[in-house]
Amino acid sequence: MAGKLNQCTMKMFLGFSLTLLMPVLLSGQAGDPRETIQKYNTALQIINFAYVEKVNESELVEKAIIATLKELDPHSRYIPREELRDANEPLEGSYEGIGVTYQLFNDTILIISPYPGGPSDQAGIRPGDKIIRIEDENVTGNNVDHDFVLQRLRGKKGSKVNLGIARHGKKNIMEFQITRDEIPIRSLDAGYMVNETIGYIKLNRFSMSTPGEFHMAMSQLKKNGMQSLILDLRGNSGGYLDVAVDLADMFLDAGKLIVYTEGVSSPKKKYNSTFSGSFEEGKLVVLIDEGSASASEIVSGAIQDWDRGLIIGRRSFGKGLVQRPYFLPDSSVIRLTIARYYTPSGRCIQKPYDEGYDEYSQEIENRIKHGELTWADSIPMPDSLKYFTARQRIVYGGGGIMPDVFVPWDSLKFSDYYTGLLGKGIINDFILHLLDKQRCDLEKKYSTKEQFIKKFNPDEGLFDSFMTYSAEKGVPPGDSLTEYDTLMVKYQLKAHLARNLWDNDAYIRIMNETDDAFRKAVIMIGNEAYLSLLTGN
């Protein structure tokens, strides 16, 4: 099927993938490439022969490659062989291990949750368990970091690992032998019904597993009565191009251009929608912000250009460059930019990078300084970057997707106290201490996630205990505590409890109640202004 994810074919992608080394086309380059190669080899030989100290030739070559790619554009990248697996893992959709989410708490590996149906879940590992021993090795103390844990818990599918577990209420260390398996990495953070007719889905990336996850979530939401959808792509840095096309296809009639790519050595390629769209009608809102990039911009750009739904939030990141990986002889990889991508109206979403890598990397900070995240009219939009949607609404290129409805980042809401709590992870630490003593009682009182979300309210006793705890940890409320701080701390306490008792979906559902962009989306779906914004009337 055209434009769909096909693991049997080479992928052009936005993010991470693997392909075989392709011949490099040198005919379009200025000068004789053989002279350039000879010049570099000669320079390297002179350094090896005459330099005052011994040099590491391999390291010099790697640094030269890195520096060269940095001169080309901000997204071409060199990946050493030993880092390749970690670089690919988030988008390949799985890893091999025991299947747990954990945190390092007081120099101990604390299990937040086992992956449902995974090897740890099947073996009887529970949230709140602490891994004290792996094989015959004690795994508590200052030397335990995330690399330490991953090296010991991950391993080849079918291999076994013996764990010593400390569980609240059990005097003795419990022994478990767990057989490692393939563990999916979820790209869908949350999917639930906001009310009787509005569904909500949040994606954190566009990986190989995304189409299956998304289709399953959409199917369940429609069974539950969904008529309108809020698709949250905030903070989603992208992924596979084919997955973005697959997702956009769900919302568009057949035969509509979703995106096209083009480069000097990459002929123009168009990606069109098919007949497989499963949500071509019904109100649609896409949430974006300055962290939404790449594949997220393909989806939001196509939906905006075809007037299929409203884009709400702030201007997206502005990454419109396509990378393809090329293997080097030592199995390291160059991810080289080969094309730009364009929305259906012809907008190139890539923001400028002609002032160099350092300036490019500061661009989001510059947006904050210039007030763009607070005031929509602070964004320069010259007529030369003006484009038109299918219904002749004006949209702008020049870097990122501009939302139809702007929602500011209101930094004034957050006091130094509240910011300090989040920055130092004090709320999470407090909740972990609390659950160490009260997990069983809370699980008995609230048997389901839905019951907890509806009925649990942080009382004054819990809030006061937290105030004391935060002061002990060096973040006292002082005179800066506002009513908004109190409200947000209570929401955070509830949300962190829900995440540690259940999952990230529970956390997002609770915190969405305080989220301006989310609440704006719900309002717009139920408002006549939805249609007027899409038609430009």
By annotation, the residues acting in catalysis are 294, 305, 319
CA–CA dist 241, 246 (Å, integer): 9
Question: How many whole angstroms from its chain centre is CA 84?
Answer: 19
Phi, psi of 193 (to 5 degrees): -90, 120
Beta strands in 11-84 (DSSP E): 77-79
- Asked if 497 contacts 507 with a C-beta cutoff of 8 angstroms, the reply is no
| Helix or strand holding residue 297 (H, E) | helix 295-305
Tokens of 15: 């993010």
SS3 string, 432-477, reads HHHHHHHHHHHHHHCCCHHHHHHHCCCCHHHHHHHHHHHHHCCCCC
SS3 string, 376-404, reads HHHCCCCHHHEEECCCCCEEECCCCCCCC
Q: Which of 205, 258, 193 is nearest to 230 (CA)?
A: 193
The residues pairing with 156 across neighbouring beta strands, listed in sequence order, are: none
- Asked if 325 contacts 17 with a C-beta cutoff of 8 angstroms, the reply is yes
User: How wide is the angle at C-alpha 437 spanned by C-alphas 435 and 438, nearest 5°?
Assistant: 65
Specify the DSSP class assigned to residue 239: B
Tokens of 55: 């040099």
Tokens of 312: 């709400």
- Asked if 509 contacts 192 with a C-beta cutoff of 8 angstroms, the reply is yes
End-to-end CA distance of the chain: 37
- Asked if 230 contacts 201 with a C-beta cutoff of 8 angstroms, the reply is yes
CA–CA dist 184, 90 (Å, integer): 10
| Helix or strand holding residue 373 (H, E) | none
